[in-house]
Amino acid sequence: MAKKSNALDALTYLGVADKHPLRPVCVAYGDEGFLKAEVLSSLKGRILGDEQEADFSLAVIEGPKAALADVLDQLSTVAMFGGDRVVVVEDADDFVKRYRSELEDYVARPASGSFLLLLLQTFPSNTRLYKAVAEHGLAIACASPDAGRLLRWMADRSKSKYGVVLEPQAAETLLEQVEPAMGLLDQELAKLSLLAQPNGKISAQLVRESVGGWRAKTTWDMLDAALDGKPQEMLRQLDRLLLAGEVPIAILGQISYTLRRLAAATRLIEQSRREKRAMTLPQALKEAGFKTWPAAMQKAERQLRTLGRLRGGRLYHWLQETDLALKGERSAPALARFELERLLVRLSAPADQVIPVASAGAAR
């Protein structure tokens, strides 16, 4: 019997990436966008190197709009300056659903000299495609780490990336004051490294003085107002942040963690309805990563009901669209503000359709 191959944990992979051979098909999946970005960067760097011409050998395709023929065409295209070809399909869950059997065939017989990188939210281990990738390709799980692993990661990241020492108490204090989203934590570590003590250490006192405060509270108040359908209050809080010097891309990073979890909960509920099995709203929210204490669960449930099924299903696309705009041609302050306002207004509009929720005992 062939030895069963499981997905690699993203943090484990990133720590020893060079020890894992490159495969023609790689899948990075999970709810932690920061880890997927790090894995993607590592794979692109290993395949294409850091040369300026590397971008000419890279194609990035939006999964919801992707056609298999176009992806295969990109994979068979010869790189302009020779070498390997890399094709990335972002937000590829729907793409995989539409072309699952064809992708199974491709994994078994991939194009020579090309690499297909799929970025997914979910990748069920009981599917033939998962098993094919585990055997012939590379599957990397990018799940949000628990608190213990986050603390260790913050300490390692501070030392390796920013050249400073994050004291244990400082790491715990940071995790208490900031949402446990790795991208947001990394932004805070970058800022703290610039304020580190002369001995190169980040103390708990420095974290308390420099992180959070009214700006962090205002950001969450702004998001709460949007998700509660209060656009005027939402815009007032956004204006406070921007006047205080916060930049739109940083604000997006802070709110993305919550919005991605709401999107994941919506997707879980929709999947349960298609499969005609019961799933309560608290169950979906718990699986999506929300805290289970009553106040937090009640708040998340209220917000998801207000958001509605259709908008909840579009959240991943809206977040990706806004992120690309803020990092690209819409990065100028006035344009960036408009893009962020557009996202928030979409969230705060009247609910289009309340998510139907199964009772604890029966599916709908």
On whether the pTM is more than 0.85, the answer is: no
Asked whether residue 252 is domain-assigned, the answer is: yes
Residue 103 binned pLDDT confidence (cut-offs 50, 70, 90): very high
Do 194 and 163 reside in the same domain of the chain? yes
Locate tokens 């998001």: which residue? 223
Do 74 and 193 reside in the same domain of the chain? no
Backbone region of residue 111 per phi and psi (left: phi > 0; alpha: psi in -120 to 50; beta: other values): beta
Q: Taking the CB of residue 102, how many other CB atoms lie within 10 A of it?
A: 14
Asked whether residue 357 is domain-assigned, the answer is: no
Asked whether residue 2 is domain-assigned, the answer is: no
Residue 88 binned pLDDT confidence (cut-offs 50, 70, 90): very high
Do 169 and 261 reside in the same domain of the chain? no
Average model confidence (pLDDT) for the chain? Answer: 84
Asked whether residue 178 is domain-assigned, the answer is: yes
Compute φ and ψ for 144, nearest 5 degrees: -65, 125
Percent share of the chain, pLDDT over 70: 88
Do 244 and 310 reside in the same domain of the chain? yes
Tell me the HSE value of 287 on the side-chain side, using a 13 A CA sphere.
16
Do 342 and 275 reside in the same domain of the chain? yes
Give the structural domain span for 275: 224-348
What is the total count of domains within the chain?
Answer: 3
Q: What would the pLDDT profile of 168-202 be if each residue is shown by its tens digit?
A: 999 988 887 777 788 888 888 988 998 887 778 99
Do 55 and 89 reside in the same domain of the chain? yes
Q: Cα separation of 345 and 340, whole Å?
A: 9
Is residue 203 within a helix (H) or strand (E), and if so which, with residue range?
none
Q: Taking the CB of residue 157, how many other CB atoms lie within 10 A of it?
A: 18
Asked whether residue 362 is domain-assigned, the answer is: no
Do 190 and 260 reside in the same domain of the chain? no
pLDDT score, position 363: 33
Asked whether residue 358 is domain-assigned, the answer is: no
Q: What would the pLDDT profile of 280-333 be if each residue is shown by its tens digit?
A: 888 888 888 776 667 778 888 888 888 888 888 899 999 999 988 888 888 888
Residue 181 token pair: 């989203």
Asked whether residue 361 is domain-assigned, the answer is: no
Do 76 and 17 reside in the same domain of the chain? yes
Do 120 and 176 reside in the same domain of the chain? no
Do 230 and 202 reside in the same domain of the chain? no
Which of 141, 170, 193 is the last residue in one of the domains? 141
On the question of pLDDT at 130 being above 70, the answer is yes
On the question of pLDDT at 81 being above 60, the answer is no
Do 101 and 157 reside in the same domain of the chain? no
* Domain CATH number, residue 118: 3.40.50.300
* Domain CATH number, residue 179: 1.10.8.60
Do 108 and 175 reside in the same domain of the chain? no
| C-alpha dist (Å) from residue 196 to 35, 173, 188, 210, 235 | 25, 15, 12, 11, 34
* Domain CATH number, residue 251: 1.20.272
Is residue 40 within a helix (H) or strand (E), and if so which, with residue range?
helix 33-48
Query: Which residues, in sequence order, are bridge partners of residue 29?
Result: 120, 141
Asked whether residue 27 is domain-assigned, the answer is: yes
Q: What would the pLDDT profile of 44-63 be if each residue is shown by its tens digit?
A: 888 887 655 556 788 889 88
